[in-house]
Structure 1
Amino acid sequence: MNYIETKINGLIFKKTSEKDIPIILEFIKKIATYEKMLDQVMATEEKLRESIFQNNRAHALLIEFNNKIIGYIIYFFNFSTFIGRAGLYLEDIYIEPEYRGNGLGKEAFETLIHIAKEEKCERMEWVCLDWNEPSLKFYKSIGARQMNDWIIHRLDKNVIDKIDREGI
């Protein structure tokens, strides 16, 4: 099946193909603009083609409502050594502003939970910017809990390259 139907008439989540790369990149730029991080987008159509469709590093769904693409979801699977199972990691979910607040986000999460269950994932994780009150409120309303005792660490490409050249 190339799409997942939902309880809301006219709403479907479509599996993507390489022909969808331009719209995926467009939505990446839209979420980056919303998050005030557009200057940090380094994704290109070629990088997305390689990462999503050639190397299967992530999965992308397009959100279609009444025959119009209104958003997207990017997710991948991680692994918990404590649980001994994969988890679903939600990288991005974006719905056009004019379509928010009417249950589409809940349907998106239910779709992701269905995928997680199919893949035998025992947890689902994501991050949210601390100023994004509408999203934080929504996540709390569906039962998500903040993991305040865990601090995210990141090595960016420049640091990875430096350590690769020079060691730690």
Structure 2
Amino acid sequence: MFKIRKAIPSDTPVIFDLIKKLAVYEKLENDVVTSVEELHENIFIRNFAKVLMAEEDGKPVGFALYFYNFSTFVGKPGIYLEDLFVEPEHRGKGYGKALLVELARIAGAENCGRLEWSVLDWNTPAIEFYKSLGAKPMDEWTIFRLDQQAIANLSQ
């Protein structure tokens, strides 16, 4: 039996584990510098993000971590999907799509103007999956990032 539910604080260690597995899949395992405690603080205490858990027979098999942003052009909030991950052995069962469908329901209920996310250029299976759902790549945009050191340098 499959279900999607909102994460609760006791899910934090599982969320952390799934984040590490996602990082391995994306070949970014050295970029994971957070901790269970920091995730708990920022997701469940400070409410910077929300998480949906995907479960099969009561066992977590995936997650979607998202937060709200705002479009000045649309004049509405949007949802930014930071991470979507389903354990490799559970892929192909529709769980990733189910997580996106639930996010679309949330976006609709919240009158959001957009549901957006990024995907690594090399991740062809994910790109094709997203296109099959009607998502369009925003090829004319380039993501810029300041990491913590660059933020510190700029803010001085």
What does residue 144 of structure 1 align with? Answer: 135
Q: Is the 8 A contact 2:6 2:52 kept in 1?
A: yes
Matched residue, 1:104? 95
Q: For 1:1-168, what aligned pairs fall within 5 Å after superposition?
A: 10-165=1-156
CA–CA distance in structure 2, aligned partners of residues 125 and 136 of structure 1 = 13
Give the CA deviation at 1:118.
1.1
Structure 1 length-normalised TM:
0.90
Whether the aligned pair in 1 keeps the contact of 2:77 and 2:111 (CA below 8 Å) is yes
Unaligned stretches of 5+ residues in structure 1 = 1-9
The aligned length equals 156
Higher alpha-carbon Rg: 1
Do the aligned partners of 2:63 and 2:99 also contact (CA within 8 Å) in 1? no
C-alpha distance in structure 2 between counterparts of 1:23 and 1:30, whole Å: 11
Backbone CA RMSD of aligned residues: 0.9
Structure 1 residue 125, shift from structure 2 partner: 0.3
The residue type paired with residue 95 of structure 2 is: L
Shift of 1:42: 1.1
C-alpha separation between the residues in 1 aligned to 2:105 and 2:3?
A: 14
Q: Give the fraction of aligned pairs with identical amino acids, expressed as a percent.
A: 45
Structure 2: which 5+ residue stretches go unaligned? none
The structural deviation recorded for 1:102 is 2.1
State the TM-score, normalized to the length of structure 2: 0.97
Q: Secondary structure at the match of 1:93?
A: strand
Q: Which runs of 4+ in 1 moved over 3 A?
A: none
